[in-house]
Amino acid sequence: MNVFFKAPGLASPPAGVSRRTILRAMGGVGIGLVIGADLSLSGGAAQAAETATADINPFVRIAPDGTVTVIIKHLDLGQGTTTGLTTLVAEEMDADWAQMRTDFAPNDASRYGNKIFGGAQGTGGSTAIAASFDVYRKAGASARAMLVAAAAKAMNVPARTITVAGGKLTSGSKTLTFGEVAEAAAKEPMPQDPPLKASRDFALVGKDKLPRTDNVLKTTGKAIYTQDIKLPGMLVAVVAHPPRFGARVAKVDDAAAKAVKGVEGVVTVPQGVAVLARSTYAAMKGRDALNVEWDEAAAEKRGTDALRAEYKAALGKKGTTAETEGQVEAAFAQQGVKIVEADFEFPFLAHAPMEPMNCVVQITGDKVEIWNASQFPAIDTPTAAAVAGTTPDKVKINGLWAGGSFGRRASSTADYVAEAVAIAKAHGKGVPVKLVWTREDDMKAGSYRPMYMHRVKAAVDASGKPVAWKHHVVGQSLITGTAFEGAMVKDGVDATSVEGAAEMGYAIPNRLVELTSTKVGVPVLWWRSVGHTHTAYAVETMIDQLAKAAGRDPVAFRMELIKDPRLKAVLALAAEKADWGKPLEKGRFRGVAAHKSFNTYVAEIAEITMLDKGYKVDRVVAAVDCGVVVNPDVVRAQVEGGVGFGLGHAMQAAITLTDGAVDQANFDTFEPLRMSQMPNVEVHIVPSTEAPTGIGEPGVPPIAPAVANALFAATGKPMLNLPFNRQTIGS
């Protein structure tokens, strides 16, 4: 174990901010950010210059002042991973919460890979805690063991006499702090299998008392995002992208753009035409002054109407079998069965995280340095290397806070990173370049949740038991043509297109799930909860239609059909907490949905009030089982946020195309949920000792069908097209 002595200025910053990040954001030495930012930070940096910080292991660093910095290997896009992973280390080290700090890991899969992704470095699929629970506990436990070993030598006592609590090592009357023995501890051998605490001994994990590590930074404007990076000599690039996907630059007249004050250059890259300027506003003005002719020969020119007609036709043909059980056609042909059929339509959706995509790149010789809230360093690193014409080991990515993602920063093609590198390379002056997408650029850039259509045909027998379910999904594959194809597409079936419909949670003896993957020139990408965004909707609203056909209560109907006891338990808990079955006042209705995704179980019950025109969602009661909970308040927050995120899109958001061009541009036409539309959300957690599973996404899938089922209860009409505002609701 080597001790790594930090260069001057790398003292431990407040939780969540990398010192390097701050210094670079300040322009190295700059007066820049220091004014108006926290002056004490720069003072602290100067003082810490003479002292050493010890790297105990790849995840734990201890400074002489006793601060423990946890190296976070997953992108924190708001889901609270930084808080969760820090909790695990503090728990096993017996540290004091106040001494904990965080920093983001660089791109280095050998130390920071994700075991669920086969060791590739990245964040997604709600895997951060699931994949790293043991990794961070072990890192904390081994750091503790090394501190104890070093303290035993320093105090000249046997190691077994030492107790650790609150960041202090005590033996009899002797006490040392973590900071005092850190340097010596780093030289101790690293234990291979350090003993971990039994869960009954947890003092922090699962306890409702730790504040988020990023609370102060994010309420004072001090958290640094990619958008906030400023480097000496940096230029800002704003790009004219083609109006249709697949179009190319044919001819550029950049005279007017170059005449804009502050513009330093105009370059053409495969993605479009970039204007580089000394300020963001000058770059935007320069971009507006460009005159570009586009070659649209290879462009996608179909609009939403044309796709709808093609998808509808595909629904009538046979798809590729994704899952089959029993004899579905024979079951439909039985005497006395009641058949329910429905076609569903789901629109393209933009991720539209609050921070539009951006990326800072500096190319120096064969080296590429990137500042980016990178969600998939495993994709961003080789892509940047290929575009720059160098090797991946020459690419360094500096991590930052992400202003949301919902999957967008986990681009399977590293699209915006590749664009930023291409611009820096084409400009060729070696200065840092910050690519900035405006909201309009971000919304029109594609990488959408694909448009899908589903056809579901299901039957209940005379006793009201579902006997057959046939489900056909039509839409683009997220995976085909990406680096993930080999692992995730089997026999022509992209598992992410049918997950949630295949392996459904209900015991129905005869089932067939089919998939038709379409070829459309619109880039698509996973979007918070991936395939479950549409499959859970079709399944859960269809179950309510079947319950109605069988004359049954939707909760009781589900309880009899659900196979997995954990799904049953969340449904029972939500029903109890929501007073399911107790009559509501006139004009108010309930709807329910329960769904497992990313190995986490969530049930949600929505209460709505029907208005003269439309409806309002008043209250949502959720129950969740995600195994062992590291931080209950973070779990609640993710479910609350998942409910709001899912609800806004279900109610009113869609990306549509006219002759291939995207109709929406900003938040006036792609309408996000707003404060006045947010229901009251209550989240109940099922206590569990199972292995921890994800929480960033599983709150999303049940909300749209729960509200749709409440509307179905109110109007008697199933909601088949999303978003709901495509239909007139209410009188």
Tokens standing for 127? 């895997």
CB 31 to ligand FES: min, Å: 26
Measured from the CB of residue 354, what is the shortest distance to ligand FES in angstroms?
Answer: 4
Give the one residue of 416, 527, 645, 724 binding another protein; rule: CB under 8 A: 645
- Is the Cβ–Cβ distance between 295 and 478 less than 8 Å? no
Task: Provide, rounded to whole angstroms, the least separation between the CB of residue 104 and ligand FES.
Answer: 18
Q: How many CB atoms lie within 10 A of CB 379?
A: 24
Binding to another protein (CB under 8 A) within 310-369 occurs at 352-356
Specify the residue, 78 or 523, whose C-beta has the smaller distance to ligand FES: 78
Contact between 402 and 77 under an 8 Å Cβ cutoff? The reply is yes
Find the binder of ligand FES among 49, 333, 354, 611 (CB under 6 A): 354
| Token pair of 708 as six digits | 């749709």
Residue 637 contact partner, candidates another protein, ligand FES, none, CB within 5 to 8 A by sort of partner: another protein
Alpha-carbon distance of 605 to 589, in angstroms, equals 10
> What's the min distance (Å) between Cβ of 407 and another protein?
12
Helical (H) or strand (E) element with 239: strand 235-240
Q: What does the alpha-carbon distance between residue 596 and residue 601 come to, in Å, rounded to a whole number?
A: 4
Q: Is 219 in the site for another protein (CB under 8 A)?
A: yes
Task: Give the one entry of another protein, ligand FES, none that residue 32 binds, where binding means its C-beta sits below a cut-off of 5 to 8 angstroms depending on kind.
Answer: another protein
Q: State which residue, 36 or 316, has the beta carbon closest to another protein.
A: 36
- Nearest 5°: the CA angle 589, 590, 592 is 155
Tell me which residue has tokens 């997950």: 499
> How big is the site for ligand FES, counted in residues (CB under 6 A)?
3
Q: Which of 136, 371, 376, 401 binds another protein (CB under 8 A)?
A: 401
Element of type H or E holding 20: helix 19-25
Vertex 294: Cα angle to 293 and 298 (nearest 5): 165
Q: How far is the CB of 402 from ligand FES (least distance, A)?
A: 9
Choose between 408 and 595: whose C-beta lies nearer to ligand FES: 408
- By beta-carbon proximity to ligand FES, the closer residue of 248 and 439 is 439
Q: Which is nearer to ligand FES, 279 or 727 (CB)?
A: 279
Task: Please report where in the chains the tokens 């002719």 appear, as a residue.
Answer: 293
Instruction: Count how many residues are written for the chain.
Output: 731
Per CB under 6 A, 259 contacts ligand FES:
no
Verify binding: residue 261, another protein, rule CB under 8 A: yes
> Position of tokens 């210059």?
49
Which residues from 49-88 bind ligand FES, rule CB under 6 A? 78
The single residue among 279, 334, 364, 658 that binds another protein, judged by CB under 8 A, is 279
Residue type, 406: F
Q: In the bound complex, what is the minimum distance in angstroms from residue 434's beta carbon to ligand FES?
A: 17
Tokens of 113: 């890979």
Under rule CB under 6 A, residue 674 binds ligand FES: no
Please report how close the Cβ of residue 397 comes to another protein at its closest, in angstroms. Answer: 19
Nearest approach in angstroms of CB 258 to another protein is 17
The answer to whether 570 touches 687, Cβ cutoff 8 Å, is no
Q: Min. distance of Cβ 353 from ligand FES in angstroms?
A: 7
Candidates 641, 656, 661, 721: give the one binding another protein (CB under 8 A).
641
Residues 399 and 104: beta-carbon distance below 8 Å: yes
Please give the residues from 430 up to 449 whose contact with another protein meets the rule CB under 8 A.
436, 438-439
Size of the site for another protein (CB under 8 A): 71
Under rule CB under 8 A, residue 416 binds another protein:
no
Query: Is 404 a binder of ligand FES (CB under 6 A)?
Result: yes
Rounded to an integer, what distance in angstroms lies between the CA atom of residue 609 and that of residue 358? 41
Pairing of strands 510-518, 320-325: antiparallel
The binder of 643, among another protein, ligand FES, none, by C-beta within 5 to 8 A per type, is: another protein
How far CA 641 is from CA of 79, 406, 505, 699, in Å, comes to 9, 11, 24, 8
401 binds, among another protein, ligand FES, none (CB under 5 to 8 A by kind): another protein
Q: Which residue has the tokens 């229901």?
A: 679
- C-alpha closest to that of 84 among 48, 121, 127, 122: 127
Q: Which of 13, 64, 66, 80 binds another protein (CB under 8 A)?
A: 80
Name all contacts of 159-165 with Cβ < 8 Å and 24+ positions apart: 164/93, 164/94, 165/94
Taking the CA atoms of 582, 698, 213 and 162 in sequence, report the sign of the dihedral they define. positive
Q: Which is nearer to another protein, 227 or 497 (CB)?
A: 227
Tokens found for residue 123? 């964040």
Whole-angstrom distance, CA of residue 392 vs CA of residue 385: 5
- Taking the complex as a whole, the smallest distance from the CB of residue 678 to ligand FES amounts, in Å, to 12
- Indicate whether 330 belongs to the interface with ligand FES (CB under 6 A): no
> Structure tokens of 694?
């994800």
Whether 329 and 407 have beta carbons less than 8 Å apart is answered as no
Distance from the Cα of residue 670 to its chain's centroid: 20
Nearer to another protein, 215 or 364 (CB): 215
Lay out the site mask for another protein across 655-694 (x = CB under 8 A, - = otherwise). -----------xxx---xxxxx-xxxx-------------
Provide the 8-state DSSP code for 724: G
Q: Residue 634, interface with another protein (CB under 8 A)? A: yes
Among 633, 656, 718, 721, binds another protein (CB under 8 A): 633
Reduce the secondary structure of 187-216 to three states and give it as a string. CCCCCCCCCCCCHHHCCCCCCCCCCCCCHH
223 interface partner picked from another protein, ligand FES, none, CB below 5 to 8 A per type: another protein
Amino acid at 202: F
Q: Which of residues 169-228 bind ligand FES (CB under 6 A)?
A: none
Which whole-number Å values give the CA distances from 594 to 406, 572, 601, in the listed order?
A: 21, 10, 8
16 binds ligand FES (CB under 6 A): no
> Scanning residues 499 to 528, which ones bind another protein (CB under 8 A)?
none
As measured in angstroms, the least distance from the Cβ of 676 to another protein is: 4
* Residue in 112, 117, 376, 406 binding another protein, rule: CB under 8 A: 406
Q: Is 391 in the site for another protein (CB under 8 A)?
A: no
Pairwise CA distance, residues 728 & 731, whole Å? 8
Residue 402 binding partner per list ligand FES, another protein, none, with a CB distance cut-off of 5 to 8 Å that depends on partner kind: another protein
Q: Which stretch of DSSP H or E encloses residue 281? A: helix 280-288
Binding mask 25-54 for another protein (x = CB under 8 A): xx---x-xx-xxx-----------------
Closest among 299, 430, 434, 288 to 364, alpha carbons compared: 430
Asked whether 471 and 546 are in contact (CB, 8 A), the reply is no
Choose the contact partner of 252 out of another protein, ligand FES, none; CB within 5 to 8 A by kind: none
Give the nearest residue (CB) to ligand FES: 354
Residues in touch with ligand FES (CB under 6 A): 78, 354, 404
